[in-house]
Amino acid sequence: MFFPLAGAVLLVGTLVAAPVLAAPAIPWSDDVVLERLPESRDPSIATLKKMRSLVRAAPQDLRVATLYARRAVDASRATGDPRYLGQAQAALQPWWSADDPPSPALLLRATIKQSLHDFDGALADLDRLLARAPDDAQARLTRATVRSVVGRADEARADCDRLERAVPALVGAACRASADASTWRALDAALAADTTSPAGIRTWALTIAGEMAARRGDAVGADARFREALALDPNDAYLAGAYADFLIDAGRHAEAARLLDNRTRHDALLLRLVIAERQLPERRERYEADRAELAARFDATRRRGDSVHRREEARYALEVEDDPARALTLARANFAMQKEPADARLLADAARAAGARP
């Protein structure tokens, strides 16, 4: 069963877009409360906490470890909190450095490496997994996604071609569209014909279709696809970011702000909220507070030496700080790692603002 999400993400039971592992915060006293986690608002987080005791009791149990790791990766995506990724990696520790770990651990390891922007490491694990099991559709779709992220479009299309013979039509069409935007009509046709896909698959495919419609200037089509996807999964963080980008580009800043008001735990969504609020005089006080919070988060990631948020930090420098030179430096570093359409656009925008070549 596939439960995918659009963008620079990986499959593992659920497709995950998650930030880099953070360095641990060290409290100066046992009485210090680092953060109150949202267990009361999200029962799945409470479930994850209970599952952790099972992992501790049986650290060599692959089934328990992979089940917990999948839930932790999902939690990282849902909350934007990188600590859950650290928990996922900890659960996989018995197999983390193994040359030939079991397939479930290998796929999860590739997922976490991708989240760390260790794309070479993720692809090495996926290559190993597919050499062992060439018909593993989950691994095939994951590798196609990573290859698309790093700009290896021909290889991603080859994975999608192989995948199409083993998965429902909508999954195959969405895979191919992610690798080759010229196939958007096939994706639209697959969406129109689809009547049986689970909500997760349809949300993923609609998000891809919405982004493609936006890029080719079909505002009506993009809006319709994003809205349909949100009706299926209003909590999908990647979808919220994609739709917010569309609304911001269309000058619909108030709508973008309303969409993102309660999603500020995600750095990428807080960034979009700040960009939208900057254009809304009635939200000036909220804008100043959100901007200060975002600046503090970027400062913390820099002090940790994290590099995963270069895309967001480059956009912040360009669209909030009005510092095109710094934005261009960051955008170049980001594009050296990942080459999705959003990365190419950011690089071009920063270069244009700086009066320089990309």
How does residue 43 score in pLDDT terms, banded at 50, 70 and 90? low
* Whether pLDDT at 266 is above 80: yes
Q: How far is CA 299 from CA 21, 152, 276, in A?
A: 16, 32, 21
Q: Which domain holds residue 93?
A: 1-22+37-167
What is the rounded CA–CA span in Å between residue 307 and residue 341?
A: 19
**What per-residue confidence (pLDDT) applies to 83?**
78
* Whether pLDDT at 91 is above 80: yes
- Dihedral sign, Cα of residue 226, residue 232, residue 238, residue 241: positive
What is the rounded CA–CA span in Å between residue 187 and residue 205?
A: 8
Q: Within a domain: residue 272?
A: no
Q: Within a domain: residue 139?
A: yes
Q: How far is CA 176 from CA 51, 82, 146, 170, 239, in A?
A: 37, 30, 13, 10, 19
What is the rounded CA–CA span in Å between residue 182 and residue 342?
A: 17
Q: Within a domain: residue 8?
A: yes
Q: What angle do CA 289, 295, 301 make, to 5 degrees?
A: 140
Task: List, for residues 75-84, the tens digit of each pLDDT value.
Answer: 887 776 777 8
Domain count, the chain: 1
The two three-digit tokens of residue 235, written as one number: 């909590």
Please check whether residue 4 is in contact with residue 71, taking contact to mean a CB–CB distance below 8 angstroms.
Answer: no
The mean pLDDT of 52-70, rounded to a whole number, is 94
How does residue 29 score in pLDDT terms, banded at 50, 70 and 90? very low
Task: List, for residues 113-157, the tens digit of each pLDDT value.
Answer: 988 889 999 999 999 999 999 999 999 999 999 999 999 999 999
Q: Within a domain: residue 152?
A: yes
- DSSP for 299-337, written as a single string: HHHHHHT--TTHHHHHHHHHHTS--HHHHHHHHHHHHHH
What is the rounded CA–CA span in Å between residue 85 and residue 21?
A: 6
* pTM recorded for the entire structure: 0.86
Q: Within a domain: residue 267?
A: no
Q: Within a domain: residue 77?
A: yes
How does residue 41 score in pLDDT terms, banded at 50, 70 and 90? low
Q: Within a domain: residue 215?
A: no
* Whether pLDDT at 254 is above 80: yes
Q: Within a domain: residue 284?
A: no
CATH number at residue 12: 1.25.40.10
